[in-house]
């Protein structure tokens, strides 16, 4: 079984103190930093772009797990790679040619992530599983933080895990959306090895990040 990793979402951080917040995450034992990029078009919200990521990159040594909820995504991949993303995750629906976008990320020496919304089928990515490093399963409809977890997506994770085992594949399975102390065990048991969490990490237990990360890891 892969080691359980926590990728805190800075969507729930204090945006006026992002550099400080990222340092807190690093000191608290985060495995990577999850950066949600939204364009107000592919999803109904706007967040940060490459200049902010580039500035934050200087603040810590953790991997930047950058989730691009933007369309058309292909022409922006290089900008986020240059800004300091280590993992670039895209949605199949946001590109005209998923294979070309996967190849572009790979050519830029970044890890390839592909995200599936709650209603998106595994069939969208079945032909590319050997070219993907990470599959991000959304357990809420993307666009806003603080939404309620959708337990029905756990079946998708179980199916992915089965495909992975049957075909000897090595991608990470990440889950994002409403992850908290009540459902993290179910997500891990279904097959997820990377948990994205924002509100729970920053707000629970009076903001004790280290404690919250360890609780999510079931420690």
H or E stretch covering 194: strand 194-197
Q: How far does the chain reach from its first CA to its final CA, in angstroms?
A: 16
Q: Is 42:11 a contact under the CB 8 Å cutoff?
A: no
Q: Is 36 a catalytic residue?
A: yes
Helix-strand-coil split of the chain, %, nearest 5: 45, 20, 35
Active-site hit among 86, 172, 176, 182:
176
Number of helical (H) and strand (E) elements in the chain, helices listed first: 8, 8
Instruction: State the Cα torsion 118-121-127-131 to the nearest 10°.
Output: 10
52 burial (CB, 10 Å; 0-12 / 13-18 / 19+) is: middle
The candidate with the shortest Cα–Cα distance to 175, out of 149, 199, 211, is 149
> Could you say which of 36, 39, 65, 133 is catalytic?
36
Name the residues annotated as catalytic. 36, 176
């Amino acid at each position: 079984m892969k080691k359980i990793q926590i990728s805190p979402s800075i969507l729930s951080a204090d945006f006026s103190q992002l550099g400080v917040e990222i340092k807190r995450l690093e000191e608290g034992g985060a495995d990577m930093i999850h950066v949600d990029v939204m364009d107000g078009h592919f999803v109904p919200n706007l967040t940060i772009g490459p200049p902010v990521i580039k500035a934050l990159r200087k603040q810590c040594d953790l991997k930047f797990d950058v989730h691009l909820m933007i369309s058309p995504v292909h022409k922006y991949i290089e900008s986020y790679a240059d800004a300091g993303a280590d993992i670039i995750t895209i949605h199949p629906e946001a590109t005209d040619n998923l294979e070309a976008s996967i190849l572009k990320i790979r050519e830029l020496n970044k890890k390839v992530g592909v995200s599936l919304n709650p209603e998106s089928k595994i069939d969208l990515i079945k032909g590319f599983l050997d070219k993907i490093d990470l599959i991000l399963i959304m357990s809420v409809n993307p666009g806003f933080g603080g939404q309620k977890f959708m337990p029905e997506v756990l079946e998708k994770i179980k199916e992915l895990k089965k495909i992975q085992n049957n075909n000897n594949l090595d991608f990470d399975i990440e889950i994002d959306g409403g992850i908290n102390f009540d459902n993290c065990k179910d997500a891990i048991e279904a097959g997820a090895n990377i948990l994205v969490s924002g509100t729970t990490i920053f707000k629970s237990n009076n903001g004790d990040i280290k404690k919250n990360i360890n609780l999510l890891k079931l420690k």
